[in-house]
Structure formats: C-alpha cells, structure tokens
Amino acid sequence: MLDRALVDGLFPDDLPEPAELEERYPPRDLGGRDGQPGLVTRFGPSPTGFVHVGGLYTAMVSRDLAHSTGGVYVLRIEDTDQSREVAGADEQFRRAFEAFDLVPDEGDLEIGALPAPRGDYGPYHQSARAAIYQTYVRELMRQGKAYPDFATKDELAAISDAQRTLKLPTGYYGRWAPWRDASEDDVRAALDEGKPWVARFRSDGVVGERFAFSDRLRGRVEMEDNHNDVVILKSSDNPVRLPTYHFAHAVDDHLMRTTLVVRTEEWLSSVPVHRQLFAALGFEPVDYAHLAPLMKQEGGSKRKLSKRKDAEASVDFYLEAGYPVPAVQYYLRGLANPRLAEVPLPEALATPLRLDEFGLAGPLVDTVKLSDISADHIATLPGPDVLAGVRAWAAEYDPEVVKVLDANPELAAAAIDVERVGVENPRKDLAKWSDFREAYGFFFPELFTDVTDPADERFGGLDPALVRAVAADLADTYVHEGDQPTWFQQIRDLANRHGFAPNPKTYKKDPDAYPGMLRDAANVARVAITGAQRSPDLYEVTRALGADEVVRRLRALAG
C-alpha cells in the first residue's frame, strides 16, 4: 500500500473528502407509494452520438418506473469521453427529450418548461464532476484498493501477447499487472520521470471464478467474475482528469442515490466489475434492470436495430415524419410490456410499466405497425386537434403548409372533417403529420396543381377527347346544391349522356359497346377535382371546396 502522502500528492489539494460528499448528497427521502419507496432511476446518454430510438425507449422506461412509484428520474450526461464527443449532441438530446415529453425531474439541460439546472444532486454532466471522482479514486488508493499505473501502450500490448502465447486470459491482473504491487520508490521514480499514469482498481476477483446476481428483469444471472484491474481514472496527460464509465457509474449512481439502473443488455457483462467497485467504495449495491435491445426484422431473421443502417433508429426519423407523440409513446410502451399493445391508447399511456412484463427477447421495431397505430390514433382526434398537430409539425418541417392553413382556416376545418365527422369509421388517411400534404393538399388551391392534360394516365387510358367532353359537360351543367344522392345522380346522368355503361355487369356483357362504365366517368370528375384516382367521398369534397372552385377545376381540364 502506498504511503498516504504519496497518494494525496497525486491529486489536487482542494478535493473534498468522501464524508463531505456524503453530506452534500444525502440519501433521498422519497415517500413512494403503497409503503414502498419511490424508485430513483436515471438515463445516461453519452454525447459521442445522437440519442436514438433505443435511447428514447430506455429513457421512457426509466422515467415511467420512477414516476409510477413516486420516485425521481434523472438525466445525466455521460461526457467522459471528450475525444469522441460530437458537436451539437446536447442540443439534440434536449430536442429529442422535449419532443417526446421525456422531461427529467433532475438534470442540467433545459427541457420543457421547467427551469434548468434542477435537482440537488448535480452537476449532471459528468465532465463537471471531475473533483468528485478524484476524491474517490484518492480514497481507494489511500486504502490500497487502487493504484497508479504507468504502463505504456507497448508494455500493455506485450503483456497481452505473452498471455496469448500461454493461452491465458488477456488483461491486466494478478502477476501480469506490473504496477499492482509496485514499491513506493518505483512509483516516485516514474513520477519524477514525468510518466503519465492512469488509476487502476485493484480487483480481488479470481480468474475462473463465477459471479451471480439478481437482475430485476432477468432474475438470477450467472457469469464469469471480473479479475481485471480495470482503469478507473483516465490518463494524467489529459487536460481534464476524468473517470472511465465503470467508475463514474459507481460514484454517480451512489451519490445521486439511484436505486434502479435501467440500461441495455450490452452492460450486463460489466456487472461483476461494477459490484466490485461498489463494494470497494463501501457503497450499497444498486439494482439493475438490463433491457433487451430493440431489433429489426430483416428477411427471415432478427438483428439489432442499427444506428448506421436503419433510418428508423434515428429520433429525427420520427420527428421529420411527424408521428404524433402519443402514438410513438403507445408504440414504445407496447414493445416494453406487450400487454399494453392490446389495450386502448389512453389506458396504455396511463398504465405503469411492469418489470415482470418485459420480454427478454429484443422487441421488433416495425414502422408499418407504428403507422397503423398512429393512423388509428389520429382518427380518434377532433378536427381542430388534427390541424393543430399538422400545423405544429409543419412549422418546423413544411412552412408552406403553415401558410396555407393560416390563409384558409375555414377550408382547412371543412377539409379535415370530410368523412371524419358524423361517420362510424373516420378516415385513416393520416398516419403522420407529413401525410397531410399528400392526403389533404388538393383541398387548397395553393397546393393543388390543376389537371389539364386529358391524356394523363390518371384517366386510365380513356380517350382524351372524351375526357375533355365529360369535364366540359359537367362544368356547364354542374349543380352544387342538394343532398348526396341528388348530387351523384348528375354524375350518373353525365355518364349516361356520354355513353358509359351504368354498371360493371352491363359493361362486361359487351365491353366494345361502351367507352367505359360509370366508375370511369366519375373518375374523370374525381381526378379533375382532387388530382387522384382515390379520394374521400367526392360529394363531401365538393362541399368543402365550394361550387366555384369545383367548376374552375373542371374547366381547367375541359380546356
């Protein structure tokens, strides 16, 4: 064990002592629910990349478990890897969490209406906690549970090579760890030479031993124990002295008084070293729930959703498409607890997630399913809410649509109500706000392109002269007033005047005798008025458009 003066000399003089930190960050007094203390959870994104949908999922689960138990959810930015940091990551986190309403109870980022920073357990950026980590590294060194390691990259490589030759596990441990039991003289000499050093944890794990713990999701998990003297404090030649993930996790989750760490499965194999660190530091061990990763179906097999390969892994994919937030929340909750996919959205959003209902196989992200859920959800919304959703999305992603909505409020209200109000099965033509332009754009003169070419393929190969004649006739004789059957009778009469068969049966008996059937004649009107071969009920559409615009569009085609 190194002399205390030597150890203390390795660190700044003004570091706090552990007891002061214990006092500054006291155990939380959380009433909780039903006699159970509330869970303290946290999400810890690293700004080495943007948060993706898997991150939203983990954050949602963490926040839900805290809130449903009367606990606290913390957002901690894990920025200890400054060389890999990407510019703008904090801003993207802020935007993503705000958009999906994942406002943390504590954190440094300004998310939502609450002021930031908030919470008594900060700072919540790890880079601002350098002194705190050093306090505990120093403490472990004082107790002989950590030590400075001056090994160079080449020396480390030589150690692994020798281990491989002997078919031994590679790593820095036991007799393979040259600085583990180094004498004070050696340490002083290395310091005098100005050699950079990292701090390593002195693991008491034994090669080949097993370790078991109880995961809150998986039950008993057994694996190889840790025997490596892992690095806990990065090299002294960095401008800011920061810890590794392992050490920051132990210190932060202790001092922030986290009670349940929800993180993805990739960290499962680190639990042995984490438990050793907690024990060495004298901290109560924290509980873990390791989530299965989100997956994607590819051909016949499943693989992990990939940030690089899959557009739907990115949060921006959902924001740009404009999936309503409750639909995404509902979808993600269904992935977490499949039972919630079977209950209606409001109930699913209000039902707390249960750890015992998570599957251990990674849930599949399926955007087709999300679109169905989303279309069903939008179909339940009152017209003004749909328009508000479209407008809020368009303000960011399609400013022309905002202008058009603002210029035509009555038309917008009438358009959105077509086949939605007073019908048993409202239209499901919007799965996301970005579908509005395609599904409703034709209502608005500014977004509608007149159909002027009678040979356009949307007329299904009908003789262009006949297309023109039908459009001209309807424009000339158009009667706007009246109920739906009356209105449609004029289309029948129109078809009849131009020799179309009244129904498929008649047509099929002698196809050569007719240019087409009623449906084809109606299609001329439909394409002229809506620009598409499929549209909401044409009578309803004309109510929203008004007679003048209907006739104007017909004339544009009639030439």
Instruction: Write out the residues near ligand GLU by the rule CB under 6 A.
Output: 44-46, 78, 249, 261, 263, 267
The DSSP result for 8-48, as a single string, is HHTS-TTPPPHHHHHHHSPPP----BTTBPPPEEEE---TT
Smallest separation, CB 253 to ligand GLU (Å): 8
Q: Helix (H, G, I), strand (E, B), or coil: what is residue 86?
A: coil
Nearer to ligand GLU, 173 or 247 (CB): 247
In the complex, least distance from residue 375 CB atom to ligand GLU, rounded to whole angstroms = 33
User: For 292, which DSSP code?
Assistant: P
The CB-of-357 to ligand GLU minimum distance in angstroms stands at: 21
Q: Rounded to an integer, what distance in angstroms lies between the CA atom of residue 168 and that of residue 207?
A: 10
Which residues on neighbouring strands pair with residue 43, listed in sequence order? 75
CB-wise, 261 or 401, nearer to ligand GLU? 261
Q: How far is the CB of 51 from ligand GLU (least distance, A)?
A: 9
Joined together, the tokens standing for residue 520 give 């084809």
CB burial of residue 19 (10 Å; 0-12, 13-18, 19+): exposed
Identity of the residue, 253 or 417, whose beta carbon is nearer to ligand GLU in the bound complex: 253
Q: Which is nearer to ligand GLU, 267 or 478 (CB)?
A: 267
Give CB contacts under 8 A, 24+ apart, made by 347-355: 352/64, 352/65, 352/68, 352/69, 353/61, 353/64, 353/65, 353/68, 355/65, 355/216, 355/217, 355/289
Q: Which residues pair with 254 in a beta bridge?
A: none
CA distance 372 to 349: 17
- Closest CB to ligand GLU among residues 102, 151: 102
- In 322-446, alpha helices (H): 325-336, 345-350, 367-379, 383-397, 399-407, 409-417, 436-440
Q: How far apart are CA 296 and CA 196, in angstroms?
A: 44
Name which of 46 and 535 has its Cβ closer to ligand GLU. 46
Q: Say if CB 198 and CB 234 are below 8 A apart.
A: yes
Give min distance, CB of 213 to ligand GLU, in A.
15
Q: Which is nearer to ligand GLU, 268 or 325 (CB)?
A: 268
Task: Provide the 10 A C-beta neighbour count for residue 235.
Answer: 13
If the CB atoms of residues 258 and 329 are measured against ligand GLU, the closer one turns out to be 258
**CB closer to ligand GLU out of 249 and 498:** 249
* Dist. CA 137–CA 243, nearest whole Å: 9
Least spacing, CB of residue 309 vs ligand GLU, in Å: 19
Closest to ligand GLU by CB, 44 or 515: 44
- Report which of 101, 106, 130 is spatially closest to residue 117, judged by C-alpha positions: 106
Residue 83 CB neighbours (<10 A): 7
Residue linked to tokens 């993930």: 245
Query: 10 Å Cβ neighbour count for 187?
Result: 22
Report in angstroms how near the CB of residue 377 gets to ligand GLU at its nearest.
30
Under a CB-based contact definition with an 8 Å cutoff, are residues 47 and 72 in contact?
no
**The total number of residues written for the chain in this structure:** 559
141 vs 233, beta carbon nearer ligand GLU: 233
Tell me how far apart the alpha carbons of residues 442 and 449 are, in angstroms, rounded to a whole number: 8
Alpha carbons within 13 angstroms on the beta-carbon side of residue 468 total: 9
CB 281 → ligand GLU: shortest distance, Å?
16
- Report residue 450 as tokens: 């007149």
Query: Considering beta carbons, is residue 45 or 148 the nearer one to ligand GLU?
Result: 45
